[in-house]
Chains A and B, each alone.
Chain A
Amino acid sequence: MALTANAEALLRVSEVTKTFGGVAAVDGVSFSVRPGESVGLVGPNGAGKTTLFNCVCGQLRPERGTIELNGRSLNGMATFERARLGIGRTYQRVEVFSDMNVRDHLIVSVRARWRQGRLWRDLCNLSKPTADERERVDAVLDLVGLSDRADTSVSALGLGSCRLVELARALIAEPVLLMADEPSSGLDVHETRELGAVLRQVQRDQGMAMILVEHDLEMVAEVVDRTVVMNLGQVVAEGHFDTVMADPIVRSAYLGLHE
């Protein structure tokens, strides 16, 4: 029961299938995300949420189906090219650059997004962070609450802070679509609530679309406009959070509750 793709969709995923050794991790999934919309992607472990994320980001190539961003097909496009189109992402297992400090994470992200890294500029010593870059970095760090740790190496940070670094790294690239994969994992209740508020705020301020994979349903309910539920590689329900969670199929498949 996939949502019918509509004309103004920012991201359109159509009949995407990805198998691993004969097992369909994602099986004919279709859904779309409108510009500025916040979509929660939920489901039990092994439902195929992260695999779908990887297919959208280009880290996995689906066997079937098409993925479009702003009407442009992403099929065959490398991960870095998709990132430069404005797909930002955080990861289920934290992926930070271990020998960099927090500030450098953001600078490298800005330069990669807008292709500002040039060998000749490096050789001519023209690659120092500009005032504009520093300003933007400070603003994003302030937003996620990492200003006091800007010059700290990420290897000295805890898991929760690393997740914030990942988020800041994605946000500074001003993505048109932010894909957050279990961002609250490793955070305490207070931090999770703050993160939810940050996500909601940046999504509204920057007008970006967001797909949120999250097991903390309270956070999902607070942040997203619409919820898509996956189970065993397929979309089993979608709509408003409360409606979806009341769906007997979802209660049966996701929550393990039987009517």
Chain B
Amino acid sequence: MQHLLGFGIPGVPYGCTYALVAVGLVLTYQATGVLNFAYGAQAYLSAFVFTYLVQNQHLPVGVAFVISVVILAPAVGLILDRLLFRKIAPANVIAKLVTGISMLVGIPAVLSVLFTTSNQYNPPSILFDPNVVYFHLVGTPINGIAVTCVVATAVTLIALVVLMRWTNLGLQMRGAVESRRLIELDGVNSGRVVASAWAISGFIAGLAGVLLAPIYGQLQFSDYAALMVAAFAAAAWAVLRSLPVAVLVGILMGITVTVLQGYLPVGSIWSSAALTSLPFVVLVGALLLVPGMRTLGQDKDPLASVDPPPPPIAAAVRAPEFDRVIKILWYVLLVAFSLSMLTWMPKIWENVFNAGLAYSVVFLSITLITGMGGQLSLCQATLAGVGAFTAAQVADRLGANLLVGALVGALVAALVAVVLATASVRLRGLGLALMTIAAALVFDNAIFAQVATIRGQSINVTSSSVGFGILNPNGRAFFVLAMVVLSVCVVLVLRVRNGSIGRFLGAMRGSSTAASGIGVNLTWMHVLVFGLSGAVAGLGGTLLAINQQAVNTQTFSWSFSLVFVVVVVTTGVSTPEGAIQAGFSFVVLQQLLTYVPSRLGGNSLLVILFAFGALTYVAHPEGILEFQKRRWTMRFERLLLRQRTSSTDISGPDAGATAGDGQLARVAADSDPALDR
């Protein structure tokens, strides 16, 4: 028993930070309906600034705390509310998730650009001295970090309970989660209520951030990402509703981690893999076992019907004749690109475009699952990794060609996706996003590490393992391979989209209630779209590995799953051309940024560009590129219509009247005046 307590007590400070972040997540969700994926980044931001002010600017701890936690953290919460989340329709779960994810990857990238030389070691404790043991509890020394965590958490939680239970603001916050617009009809200033919730939850994020910092001794964003997953798990058991349950589960998780650390043999697979996977296992448990999580994120707003429908994609509003012109231009571009790649393209850009083709295949999997299936998967890089690692292992063990391995890899990735879909069959929206990110983290921590080497060596892709001259220095054979794979995938995706399955998925996206009511098997559709998406991602993963001539865990880490989603929704998630644009812009921008001095941020700038680009998803859920295409399509067609009208005036009222005119007139009449601004 003494051993157990001895191992468990050091876990309390971790548990306190988990509990605090979980409470912040619950509070934000209760008041705003947003599961804030940016929360870990908010905590990191405050901890970063706090440490920077103390270690680099030598400000007193109290002053640094006031600046970073009391002022900055709530301000960030307010900014997120005012500039982003307030503009998202309550029912648009995917927009809320994408916005949070954009901030999650964007904020650390901004910090790394702004503070390139900052010292992030030995973050100070805000209250008590970390180096002083204040007392012993069951033989366990309790230092200043533990005392600070417990005291700060207790005070914060008591204040929150008072706020939520006994104040008018707390009551209004609880009302706002059902429908912000509905409480406005009761005369409540919902904007003020929601802003207060964002400010308070921002403060809690900042507090958790500065509490966690001294525990690890060095400030790293990965610790905050792990903190966030643990907090998600605690919040999930609380169904994002109950503050006491969130606190209890958070603290229990902290204690369980250190108890397991104490009992599990050091260096064993259990301590390295199972232990780091614990929060994810707890999260998956909540998603599968807590009934309330199945309906999480589903629209409950009685006034949701006042939201406008999503805008159509450009191709849907183009007049047939203009559509033909666009298609011809696409073919011309394709031929010109292919000829260039096969003849004169400089080596450096040849590599870039080849990588773009490989990424495009991976991104097509996001088109399938998000654009067509209407679900957000945060493990697409993981599925790509499953394909790549399987291909490499199969090729090595069976002595087969890597391209044969690629097919096996695609199949295995599809199977993994099917298993994941089957496990999450009752989950939609938020629950599914959490499930997929949990799966990605389990693969990162527990599985990829085991398959990332062959005979103790990292996996390199060689010419002999691929054959057909694909890894020749000129890269043309790879281009042909990648073009064939991408073309086949695009054709198959288009056929599915335009066929019965695409229609069923469209029905499921539009109204799952009505879809099942007409005989669509939602479970089968859910599993099918995951399986297809997994196969495409797996294939793209191997293509990416061949292009990079290596299969490593970094390429397929969970954080890339988030970045991939951000990139694809920025360009357009509804169409295969959106995925291709995403693939190419991802690598071309990466290449262009190599010409920018590295002190300006390098790859971090790329993440920032896409992260902030993805924020446009709030206003344009079809993707900013897709929006621009629609805008220019309409402008061009109106211009065409005006010219035709003037020529009709000259030649007579009936001259030149065609079916296309009707379409053009409709487009002109339907066009959004806001587009002209």
Chain A positions within 8 Å of B, measured between CB atoms, are 57-59, 78-80, 83-84, 88-89, 91, 93, 95-100, 104, 107-109, 111-113, 115-119, 121-125, 127, 153, 155-156, 166, 169-170, 173
Contacts and interface: CB of A to CB of B under 8 A. Distances in A.
Given A91-B514, A169-B514, 6 more contacts: A80-B522, A93-B305, A104-B503, A117-B504, A123-B492, A173-B518
Contacts of A170: 518
B521 interface: yes
Contacts of B670: 156
Nearest to A101: B316
Given A113-B518, A155-B309, A118 B500 contact: yes
A153 B517 contact: no
A52 to B, nearest CB: 15
6 contacts: A80-B521, A95-B514, A118-B500, A127-B498, A127-B500, A169-B514
A91 B496 contact: no
B352 to A, nearest CB: 32
A100 B502 CA distance: 11
B271 to A, nearest CB: 44
Interface in B505-522: 506-507, 509-511, 513-522
A98 B517 contact: no
A79 B516 CA distance: 6
Contacts of B503: 100, 104, 107-108, 111, 117
B310 A99 contact: yes
Given A117-B500, A117-B501, A119-B501, A95 B511 contact: yes
Most buried by B among A88, A108, A111, A169: A108
A18 to B, nearest CB: 17
Given A80-B516, A89-B517, A119 B528 contact: yes
A109 B517 CA distance: 9
Nearest to A100: B506
Given A97-B506, A108-B507, A123 B513 contact: no
Nearest to A112: B519
Contacts of A125: 495, 499
Given A117-B501, A123-B496, A98 B309 contact: yes
Given A111-B503, A121-B499, A122-B502, A100 B519 contact: no
B312 interface: yes
A183 B235 CA distance: 41
Contacts of A156: 670
B417 to A, nearest CB: 15
Given A96-B510, A97-B507, A99-B510, A112 B518 contact: yes
A170 B514 CA distance: 10
A80 B511 CA distance: 13
Contacts of A98: 309-310, 509-511
Contacts of A123: 492, 495-496, 499
Nearest to A104: B503
A37 B57 CA distance: 83
Contacts of A93: 305
Contacts of A122: 495-496, 498-502
Contacts of A127: 495, 498-500
Contact of A119 (B496, B498, B510, B514): B496
Contacts of A83: 516-519
A170 B509 CA distance: 18
A88 B495 CA distance: 29
A164 B401 CA distance: 57
Contact of A59 (B309, B312, B501, B513): B513
Nearest to A173: B518
B523 to A, nearest CB: 8
Contacts of A117: 499-501, 503-504
Nearest to B317: A153
B375 to A, nearest CB: 15
A112 B495 contact: no
Contact of B518 (A58, A109, A124): A109
A198 to B, nearest CB: 19
Interface in B352-371: none
B368 to A, nearest CB: 12
Contacts of A58: 516
A236 to B, nearest CB: 28
A93 to B, nearest CB: 8
B124 to A, nearest CB: 50
A104 B499 contact: no
B501 A97 contact: no
B501 A95 contact: no
A248 to B, nearest CB: 35
A113 B528 CA distance: 19
A252 B320 CA distance: 61
Most buried by B among A80, A93, A96, A109: A80
Contact of A97 (B305, B514, B519): B514
Given A78-B516, A84-B519, A173-B518, A108 B506 contact: yes
Contact of B513 (A95, A104, A116): A95
Nearest to B304: A93
Most buried by B among A91, A95, A169: A95
Nearest to A119: B501
A115 B501 CA distance: 11
A89 B528 CA distance: 26
A58 B496 CA distance: 29
Interface string B302-334: 000100011010001000000000000000000
A84 B312 CA distance: 31
**8 nearest A-B pairs in the assembled complex, by CB-CB distance:** A122-B499, A97-B510, A117-B500, A155-B309, A127-B499, A95-B514, A112-B519, A83-B519
Nearest to A110: B518
A84 B516 CA distance: 10
Contacts of B510: 96-100
Contacts of B500: 108, 111, 116-118, 121-122, 127
B312 A153 contact: yes
A70 to B, nearest CB: 17
B506 A104 contact: yes
Interface in B232-266: none
A59 B504 contact: no
A125 to B, nearest CB: 5
Contacts of A119: 496, 501, 528
Contact of A169 (B499, B501, B518): B518
A193 to B, nearest CB: 26
Contacts of B309: 98-99, 153, 155
Contacts of B504: 108, 111-112, 117
A170 B506 CA distance: 17
A96 B511 contact: yes
Nearest to B504: A117
A79 B496 contact: no
A9 to B, nearest CB: 22
Contacts of A113: 518-519
A155 B498 CA distance: 19
A88 B312 CA distance: 29
A88 B309 CA distance: 26
B508 to A, nearest CB: 9
Interface string B653-670: 000000000000000001
A109 B504 CA distance: 9
A64 B564 CA distance: 48
Contact of B509 (A79, A99, A109, A112): A99
B662 to A, nearest CB: 12
A168 to B, nearest CB: 11
Contacts of B520: 80, 108, 112
A183 B195 CA distance: 41
B311 to A, nearest CB: 9
A119 to B, nearest CB: 6
B491 to A, nearest CB: 9
A211 B383 CA distance: 48
B478 to A, nearest CB: 26
Nearest to A57: B517
A15 to B, nearest CB: 24
